[in-house]
A and B are shown apart, each in its own frame.
Chain A
């Protein structure tokens, strides 16, 4: 179903509406829809990646250092401390800058490992079928229903008390609970691909199983794998922040969740120290939003029916589509031809409630 359009786009160079320039016949394999949503997401993501790379280098102070022993009250933002200070006079801007790298590292690590796991398990399950499929689907389904955060809390809770686990280890542990969703989606898609003609012909031509999987099936699954990766990174950001917020991560292991942990334990919200908890919370939410916006782009790539919703009104008028689509008519791409049903819009549609 949805994947059908993915194949069309990937295999045959489509005559796209926006690439009619003669002499420049590109065959775009992965056309990311250039909607404002995707561009915003991309811009934000670039910002956060830069932050993770240079953040710790430009941080003005040591995030753990107590800069003044005389003052026991958090200071609001000032020229010396742009984001203010904590109870023990640590510089919050430095904490935010340093914490960004850890947050991103853990999330990306979790995303990479979990996506690899979901591809291996999901595609194997869907392609091999039979008893292997039954067993693996059962594992996938159990992975889906077990509540992830409590399981993670138990796992990290049993790490030695004073240990300062590396970001990569935390990412690895988080990935153990984040692969099942992707695996299920990939399994279903592989099942539907397994008996397509192009896979059959490869099989008849005597291709080996692993070759069919990696050269025939995986390329078609790329958008779904990418979407699953982004989803898992969002999950990683949220989960890591939650674990640190609960105090499961060493309190000097700076991440945005750690800042929130200290803010919560000093009741910053109740005391009106907004500069303490707003920046890390907004940063987590914006990072998640940027990834989710990119995911919208991939969703619209996979399922073009969602795409028209993203057309602006002016754009819609330009392409000759009615501003509101009557039922039964979803322009799948941006059609040049007039829509057959557009003329006969039911009267019920006009008298909208």
Chain B
């Protein structure tokens, strides 16, 4: 398991870089935006809060950068990301933890569906190469190139506004149901999740299809596939042999794709006013809530790194060669 240990080490390093960037970006950007924002807040907040925020951003202190950096690490390790200025007096941590389950549920589910669907379709398109299915590819390109939020807006306009099949905003209807383990609430949540999830699946599946197809086309030329077919194995098993090998690069490509998917999902949430991390992020942008902005960035980064780690575990499970070295 040396490989996995090395990967874990790498992700820890990446997290370290993200945290350090998070610390330096506000201090390096020109035209001190934080000081200006803080000056606006003096009338609304207690002096103690202002003092804490000033400390967090190194405004008006004579501490060295290194001391500030250590201080920043200290509060981060205690789970303290500061006060959210737009949700005052709530802390950044509490605002984020209220939104995180929605995003994890939505993006996690949609990504699993899209990956599975994309891989299966990719295999199919590669196998039936040269048939009418090839015409799907340019259409895929359009879906890949269209911004997630544009697809989301189209879905809202068609299925929510025009046809009225699904609700257009929110994660559940607060006037109708109360959160809890009852069917009314759960079905309401699912009803609200269908359009956002469909957006993510539509927008991201194209990438998996094209990627899988291209690897599959190459894999189908391998000798072992020819042998399998020459032996007269049933078609299903031949496809299976090729697909199992072709899927490995797809799993590797996951790390590249997951960042895009998460970014797209954030924008999707904005369109649907879905109360997840993306929506919180946009509110933070519009309200100039810097502590929240930075907290959201860190949380998203950690989530993406964790997803990558899971993909690495899956790779080790799928590819016996990686296990032999250990």
Chain A residues in the interface with B (C-beta under 8 A): 37, 40, 138, 141-142, 144-151, 153-155, 157-161, 163, 181, 234, 238, 241-242, 245-248, 260, 263-264, 269-272, 274, 277, 281, 284-289, 291-293, 296, 299, 303, 305-306, 308-311, 313, 316, 323-330, 346, 348, 351-353
Contacts and interface: CB of A to CB of B under 8 A. Distances in A.
B130 A150 contact: no
B133 to A, nearest CB: 10
Nearest to A243: B285
B146 A285 contact: yes
B157 A272 contact: yes
16 contacts: A142-B14, A147-B262, A151-B21, A154-B294, A158-B26, A246-B285, A247-B285, A270-B169, A281-B150, A285-B146, A285-B150, A287-B145, A313-B130, A325-B130, A328-B220, A348-B232
Nearest to B138: A37
Given A142-B14, A269-B157, A299-B214, 19 more contacts: A40-B138, A145-B259, A146-B17, A147-B259, A150-B263, A150-B297, A150-B301, A153-B281, A154-B25, A157-B33, A160-B30, A245-B270, A270-B169, A277-B157, A281-B153, A285-B142, A285-B150, A311-B130, A324-B131
Interface residues of B, number: 81
Contacts of B218: 303, 305
B183 to A, nearest CB: 28
B296 A242 contact: no
B187 interface: no
Contacts of B14: 141-142, 145-146
Contacts of A277: 150, 153, 157
Interface of B: 10-11, 13-14, 17-18, 21-22, 25-26, 29-31, 33-34, 36-37, 128-131, 134, 137-138, 141-142, 144-147, 149-150, 153-154, 156-157, 160-162, 168-169, 214, 217-218, 220-221, 223, 225-226, 229-230, 232, 234-235, 238, 255-256, 259-260, 262-263, 266-267, 270-271, 281-282, 284-286, 288, 290, 293-294, 296-297, 300-301, 304-305, 308
B157 A274 contact: yes
Contacts of B290: 157-158
DSSP majority for the A interface? helix
Contact of A145 (B154, B156, B232, B255): B255
Contact of A157 (B144, B157, B230, B293): B293
Contacts of A284: 145-147, 150
Contact of B259 (A146, A153, A159, A330): A146
Nearest to B294: A154
B301 A147 contact: yes
A161 B147 CA distance: 26
B28 to A, nearest CB: 8
A281 B259 contact: no
A246 B270 contact: yes
Contact of A234 (B10, B145, B162, B270): B145
